[in-house]
Structure 1
């Protein structure tokens, strides 16, 4: 099947923080009201925007958190309405901020890795979380 348009370019993060309870980390999962799903923060690149910039911007817009990007994670490739989509991901440590409901995201949960994996809707997000955990020293 021939794609119905140019590649949709997007970027996002596996956003994490040190657990306030100590010992380990927590991962941010977001609920997108429009799609009724639980996913990782991500979004489309704006014209002229670099993927790293978009990843940081999308985290801030969707979660209210500032972050420090870490290593790049595997890129997700899939189709949306017959168009190819490519999402570049990074590991990102939350450095500050606070969540406020917005037009895209109505809930954010900080969960231990196993609970985050169970909550995520899509296998591609679960797989990405697994790749993140396989290389993260606190996991």
Structure 2
């Protein structure tokens, strides 16, 4: 059996208040026609980056927003088989609470088909993975 590959990513729970409702940014990609996987923006570090620097860069790249970190939310972990070779992986993702101060969702990364602001209750119903739902509810 192959050794488990340990991985780490950082991401953001980007929020704003609109009309009295707290909204959060969610990112989606269409895996098959009409089957969209929704998640929070996140990604892996580049050489020499701190966790916070990675989170800021990845959220900016994936959402098109300029963001600042307001605090640490928490971490999740999960296991999966790597797409290209089936290697077993264990990933830990550290999430930061963030607020946007500029940018535009229309500038989001081509990695996603959709990037949207959703009210928290709708976001928690929309996110594909329960562990990310728990992060948003925190």
**Category of TM-score, reference length = shorter chain:** 0.7 to 0.9
| Structure 1, unaligned runs of 5 or more | 132-139
Determine the structure 2 residue equivalent to 1:135. none
Pick which of 118-127 and 34-43 moved more. 34-43
Any idea what SS the aligned residue of 2:113 has? strand
Determine the structure 1 residue equivalent to 2:53. 53
> Is 2:94 aligned against 1:97?
no
Determine the structure 2 residue equivalent to 1:136. none
C-alpha contact (below 8 Å) 2:78/2:90 kept by paired residues: yes
| Structure 2, unaligned runs of 5 or more | 82-87
Higher strand share: 2
Change (3 A) 1:3 1:85: farther
How far apart, in 1, do the equivalents of 2:49 and 2:124 lie? 30
TM-score relative to the length of structure 1:
0.84
TM-score relative to the length of structure 2:
0.85
- Counting only pairs closer than 5 Å after superposition, residues 1-139 of structure 1 correspond to structure 2 as 3-5=3-5, 7-19=6-18, 22-33=19-30, 36-81=36-81, 82-99=88-105, 100-131=107-138
Task: Give the aligned length.
Answer: 128
